Structure formats: C-alpha cells, structure tokens
C-alpha cells in the first residue's frame, strides 16, 4: 500500500497561496468541481471522488492528528460514467457527501490543493507521494514541513479531520443549536 504524507489547513488567503505556488514553479493542472461520496467501511476511509479532472475510488488509513499525517492509500481509477457509485451505495451505504471546488497544482511528487468546500470554507492541502517507493517517509515529511513554511501556514490553522468529519461535526453542532 503506497504511502502519502499530507496536511490540511484553513486557508485565509487563497490568492496569496496561488502566488507563492506559481512563484516556486508549481504547475497549475486546472480547477475541478468534485463530489466526494464517503461510504461506510470496516477499516479506514472509503470515498469515491467524481470530477472533471479526477475520478477515483480511494481507500486510505491514517491517524487524524494536526500537522502532517501519514496515509496508506489504495487508488482505483474510475470513469465519470461508472456504475460504481450506485453499487457502493446499495451494498455498503453512504456515510456523507462533500462538494468542493479544487484548484490542483503539482511540483514533482507533491500535489497542492486549494479547496473551497461547500458548508466549510477554504482550505489548502499538501500531499507528498512516495510514488514508486523510492522516497522515504522522512523525506516526504521534510517536503511537507518545508512547504508549510514556504506557504506561510500558521500552525494554529492546521486541522486533522477530513472534510466529511468537519461537515458531520458542523451538522451535529447545528442540530444541537436547533434542539435548544
């Protein structure tokens, strides 16, 4: 199972992040409207990403902690017209759905996302990928730490939860307020 080291943070200034990424040579791969459908899973997280650029079934296992996280990831590329979503909905059930607009940037083995998530706001995400297995976890961690500094990400803005978890927490909080 390939390993990624990644982090996610609240993004207070998307334009600043864009400018820094372009100034350090990041290639902009485009803007993708994505729907992530999270399914019930006995272990880890199972989600189907549907967009105009990225379409894949993703299973990952990671510990949710602030800062950089190690994820063990399996990917299965899908097509936009796949019946996979319907099959998964009927067999394992949907846990949550996340709608977002994602700007995608790449430098070598590192992918940068500037995300606007409906119901949550703006985020920046960095994933350093081992690819063919020739990059150590320590090197991946170093890359993430360097980009945290380069992008001027404040440690208090780092988050550990997935967008799905954050949306579920917001819905629970909203429900508590309505019930009171």
What pLDDT shows up at residue 66? Answer: 63
Torsion of CA 86, 32, 129, 79, to 10 degrees: 30
Q: pLDDT per position in the chain (180 positions), as tens?
A: 678 889 999 999 999 999 999 999 999 999 999 999 999 999 989 999 999 999 999 998 877 666 666 788 889 999 888 899 999 999 999 999 999 999 999 999 999 999 999 999 999 999 999 876 678 889 999 999 999 999 999 999 999 888 998 998 876 544 433 444
**Predicted TM-score (pTM) of this structure:** 0.87
Domain ranges of the chain: 3-179
Query: How many whole angstroms separate alpha carbon 137 and alpha carbon 143?
Result: 10
Query: How many whole angstroms separate alpha carbon 148 and alpha carbon 163?
Result: 20
The three-state secondary structure class of 155 is helix
What pLDDT shows up at residue 82? Answer: 85
What pLDDT shows up at residue 174? Answer: 41
User: 10 Å Cβ neighbour count for 72?
Assistant: 13
> Can you give the length of the chain in residues?
180
What pLDDT shows up at residue 180? Answer: 44
CATH class of 3-179: mainly beta
């Amino acid at each position: 199972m390939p390993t990624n080291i990644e982090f996610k943070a609240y993004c207070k200034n998307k334009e600043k992040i864009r400018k820094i990424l372009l100034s350090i040579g990041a290639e902009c791969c485009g803007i993708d409207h994505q729907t992530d459908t999270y399914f019930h899973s006995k272990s880890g997280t199972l989600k189907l990403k549907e967009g105009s650029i990225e379409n894949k079934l993703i299973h990952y296992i990671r510990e949710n902690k602030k800062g950089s996280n190690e994820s063990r990831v399996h990917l299965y590329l899908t097509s936009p017209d796949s019946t996979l979503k319907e099959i998964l909905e009927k067999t394992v059930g949907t846990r949550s759905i996340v709608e977002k607009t994602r700007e995608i940037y790449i430098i070598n083995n590192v992918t940068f996302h500037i995300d606007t998530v409906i119901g949550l706001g703006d985020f920046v995400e960095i994933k350093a990928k081992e690819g063919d297995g020739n990059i150590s976890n320590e090197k991946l961690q170093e890359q993430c730490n360097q980009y945290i500094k380069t992008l001027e990400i404040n440690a208090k803005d780092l988050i550990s939860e997935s967008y799905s978890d954050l949306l579920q927490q917001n819905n629970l909080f909203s429900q508590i307020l309505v019930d009171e």
